[in-house]
Chains A and B, each alone.
Chain A
Amino acid sequence: MDIFIYGIVNGMTFALMAVGFSFVYGISRLPNFAHGALYVVTGFIAWTFINSAGLPYWLSIILSLIIVSLAGVAIYQFVMIRVRGMPISEIIVSFAIALAILEGLRLQGIGGFKGFIGPGYVLPRFIDGVVDTPWVTIDLQRLLIIAVGLLIMGFMWLFTHYHKMGLGLRAMAQHERAALMLGINSDRMANIALGIGSALAGLAAIAIMPLGNINCESGYSVLTNAIAVCVIGGLGSWGGTILAALTLGLATTIMSAIGGTMWNNVLVFGLIIFILIVRPSGLFGQQKKLEERV
């Protein structure tokens, strides 16, 4: 029974990781490889604020989120804006940025920047303490993840479907030039999209990282999980994203209980390829049907 509970929690962590990426790629069609990198960067910045600068917990979190979303905006404004039209270059550029950040953080004490290797660096938990439900004991941090996850999902759904900004993003994603004709400044939209997307990645880091330590490998796995959730759930559909995250969460929990965590990656991978072949536009996506029609 507790596998089921842990599966749900794991599912929500996947959802949290994926929401930022899904918002940027799913809604605005901007490939953001650097999602995983920003996730890890938030961890480091928050850690430095708390430990080196000794700032209170709240302040350091807010500061690191602001810095990360500014980094996201900077990525678009100075880099992605110049490769908008060309799909091949877009992928390569965002892939290069992600690698630069992740590998850069692995450095050992170069210049003033102390590399963070080794297990010693852990983000403090948001809430300590444990609550034992009739079936299994869960620490509050995991419950927090579920709450934050659902909160963000709800906010994102409202934002994309009803707020004017959400409409602008959907327009820019489907046909940038047509959006320009209607007075939607696509560059400003993309800046906002990346800013929010990066902040979401940061938020995911703040909530999930305390469970483990801050390391670079999580950058790659967050990216793969986020893409897996987006692929399986279907682009741009929030219902699909949540469902995909939960299924993935359950599957990986069961997998690690049986086969061992090593095979998790293989499982996530197998699912991506399997879903893409069976239903190329994901469970809820419409792209395939539309492609047929046009």
Chain B
Amino acid sequence: MSAILEIKNLMLFYENAVAINNINITVNEGKIVGIFGSNSAGKSSLMLCISGIILDVRKKEVMKGGERITVTGEIKFRGENVLSVEPSERAKKGIILCPERRLIFPESSALENLRIGGYLASKAQAKKTLEYVFTLFPELEKLKRRAGGFLSGGEQQMLAIGRALMAQPKLLLLDEPLLGLAPSIEIRLARAIKIINKETGITIVVSEQYARPILPIVDYAYVLENGGLVAEGTGSELLENPDVKEAYFGM
């Protein structure tokens, strides 16, 4: 099957420090790809580059006279290099990022969060996806009226994923969805991600630090260390690799 996303020698500099060092990643259509790595391995920076938010970060840094951010290399989305395309344009093309720490809208109600997610979708699409989200996460339907700020960690994460789905993604980027959640919710969300991929065929890239609950649902995975790729392979291949197993899977 064709590769929906190809990243060729991507480099990212914060002033003189290298955040991402010559990364090459390919993601095939309809697959779930995992990106594992410890805290400052560059996972979030990579997600920011793919989604284009890094351009917004750079714009703000330039205005503040802060550090100089430089991004070089190539990010091909369905054959088109989107390295310098505005984040909101990339979202129109179907690259939707579900950010680290969820960043849901605290003052809007859960329903309004979802309707904001459907900003790009047509009325029919929005209606259909909304029903799908409520079947996927029944709790959200009960919490419709409640303001986003009052939801618990797990509920906010479900809302964030639901909101991302409402934007009709073709490539869904999940940045550390299971951060700081209780074990039971980790399992529940991992299963939900698998269901989304199976039922809607959306390609999903999940970045996670503590990889154990995500590993079973991933088709292919990359391991990042200090901005560089140190290992890649299918879930089972990575399990054999001894040092990767200890560092990321906490066996």
Q: Which residues of A contact B (CB under 8 A)?
A: 82-86, 164, 167-168, 170-171, 174-175, 177-186, 236, 286-287, 290, 293-294
Summed over the interface, the residue pairs from A and B with CB atoms below 8 Å come to a total of: 90
- Please pick, from A167, A180, A181, A182, the residue contacting B112 in the complex, using a CB distance under 8 A: A167
- Please pick, from B64, B107, B116, B164, the residue contacting A179 in the complex, using a CB distance under 8 A: B116
Contact stretch, chosen from B89-97, B182-190, B199-207, B229-237? B89-97
How far, in whole Å, are A184 and B88 apart by their CA atoms in the complex?
6
Contact stretch, chosen from B13-21, B98-106, B130-138? B98-106
Return B169 CB to nearest CB of chain A, in Å. Answer: 10
Binary A-proximity of B64-86 (CB < 8 A = 1, otherwise 0) = 10000000000000000000001
Determine whether the beta carbon of B116 is less than 8 Å from that of A290: no
Determine whether the beta carbon of B60 is less than 8 Å from that of A182: no
How far, in whole Å, are A85 and B106 apart by their CA atoms in the complex?
19
Determine whether the beta carbon of B86 is less than 8 Å from that of A84: no
Tell me the nearest residue of chain A to B57, going by C-beta: A177
Determine whether the beta carbon of A183 is less than 8 Å from that of B167: yes
Determine whether the beta carbon of B106 is less than 8 Å from that of A86: no
How far, in whole Å, are A86 and B60 apart by their CA atoms in the complex?
9
Determine whether the beta carbon of A294 is less than 8 Å from that of B120: no
Tell me the nearest residue of chain B to A162, going by C-beta: B115
What residues of chain A lie closer than 8 Å to B106, measured between beta carbons? 174, 290, 294
What residues of chain B lie closer than 8 Å to A294, measured between beta carbons? 106, 149
8 contacts between A and B (CB under 8 A): A83-B63, A167-B116, A171-B116, A178-B105, A181-B96, A181-B98, A182-B120, A183-B119
Return B104 CB to nearest CB of chain A, in Å. Answer: 7
Whether B56 is near chain A, meaning CB under 8 Å from some CB there, is yes
What residues of chain A lie closer than 8 Å to B63, measured between beta carbons? 82-86
Q: Which residues of B contact A (CB under 8 A)?
A: 51, 53, 56, 60, 63-64, 86-88, 91-92, 96-99, 103-108, 112, 115-117, 119-120, 147, 149-150, 163-164, 167
Determine whether the beta carbon of A286 is less than 8 Å from that of B147: yes
Determine whether the beta carbon of A182 is less than 8 Å from that of B96: yes
How far, in whole Å, are A84 and B63 apart by their CA atoms in the complex?
9
Q: Chain B at the A interface: mostly helix, strand, loop or mixed?
A: helix
Determine whether the beta carbon of A177 is less than 8 Å from that of B150: no
Return A286 CB to nearest CB of chain B, in Å. Answer: 6
What residues of chain B lie closer than 8 Å to A290, measured between beta carbons? 106-107, 147, 149-150
Q: Chain A at the B interface: mostly helix, strand, loop or mixed?
A: helix
Determine whether the beta carbon of A293 is less than 8 Å from that of B150: yes
Tell me the nearest residue of chain B to A237, going by C-beta: B107
What residues of chain A lie closer than 8 Å to B164, measured between beta carbons? 181-182
Taking A171-B105, A175-B103 as given, write out 15 further A-B residue pairs in contact, using a Cβ cutoff of 8 Å, ordered by the A residue number: A170-B105, A170-B107, A171-B108, A174-B106, A178-B104, A180-B91, A182-B163, A182-B167, A183-B88, A183-B120, A185-B86, A185-B88, A236-B107, A290-B106, A290-B150
How far, in whole Å, are A175 and B53 apart by their CA atoms in the complex?
13
How far, in whole Å, are A287 and B147 apart by their CA atoms in the complex?
11
Determine whether the beta carbon of B53 is less than 8 Å from that of A167: no
Determine whether the beta carbon of A85 is less than 8 Å from that of B119: no
What residues of chain B lie closer than 8 Å to A236, measured between beta carbons? 107
How far, in whole Å, are A175 and B85 apart by their CA atoms in the complex?
21
What are the 6 A-B residue pairs with the smallest beta carbon separation, nearest first? A183-B91, A290-B149, A185-B88, A178-B103, A183-B120, A174-B105
What residues of chain B lie closer than 8 Å to A86, measured between beta carbons? 63-64
Given contacts A167-B115, A182-B119, A293-B150, contact A175 B88 (CB under 8 A): no
What residues of chain A lie closer than 8 Å to B99, measured between beta carbons? 177-178, 181
Tell me the nearest residue of chain A to B60, going by C-beta: A85
What residues of chain B lie closer than 8 Å to A183, measured between beta carbons? 88, 91-92, 96, 119-120, 167
Return B115 CB to nearest CB of chain A, in Å. Answer: 6
Determine whether the beta carbon of B105 is less than 8 Å from that of A177: no
What residues of chain B lie closer than 8 Å to A178, measured between beta carbons? 99, 103-105
Determine whether the beta carbon of B53 is less than 8 Å from that of A182: no
Determine whether the beta carbon of B91 is less than 8 Å from that of A164: no
Among A175, A180, A293, A294, chain B packs the most CB atoms within 10 A around the CB of A180
How far, in whole Å, are A110 and B64 apart by their CA atoms in the complex?
37
How far, in whole Å, are A184 and B104 apart by their CA atoms in the complex?
14
Among A86, A181, A290, chain B packs the most CB atoms within 10 A around the CB of A181
- Please pick, from A171, A180, A293, the residue contacting B53 in the complex, using a CB distance under 8 A: A180
Tell me the nearest residue of chain B to A83, going by C-beta: B63
What residues of chain A lie closer than 8 Å to B119, measured between beta carbons? 164, 167-168, 171, 182-184
How far, in whole Å, are A288 and B87 apart by their CA atoms in the complex?
32
Determine whether the beta carbon of B108 is less than 8 Å from that of A174: yes
Given contacts A177-B56, A181-B53, A182-B96, contact A286 B91 (CB under 8 A): no
What residues of chain B lie closer than 8 Å to A168, measured between beta carbons? 116, 119
How far, in whole Å, are A179 and B119 apart by their CA atoms in the complex?
10
How far, in whole Å, are A236 and B106 apart by their CA atoms in the complex?
13
How far, in whole Å, are A167 and B109 apart by their CA atoms in the complex?
12
Return B242 CB to nearest CB of chain A, in Å. Answer: 37
How far, in whole Å, are A86 and B88 apart by their CA atoms in the complex?
21
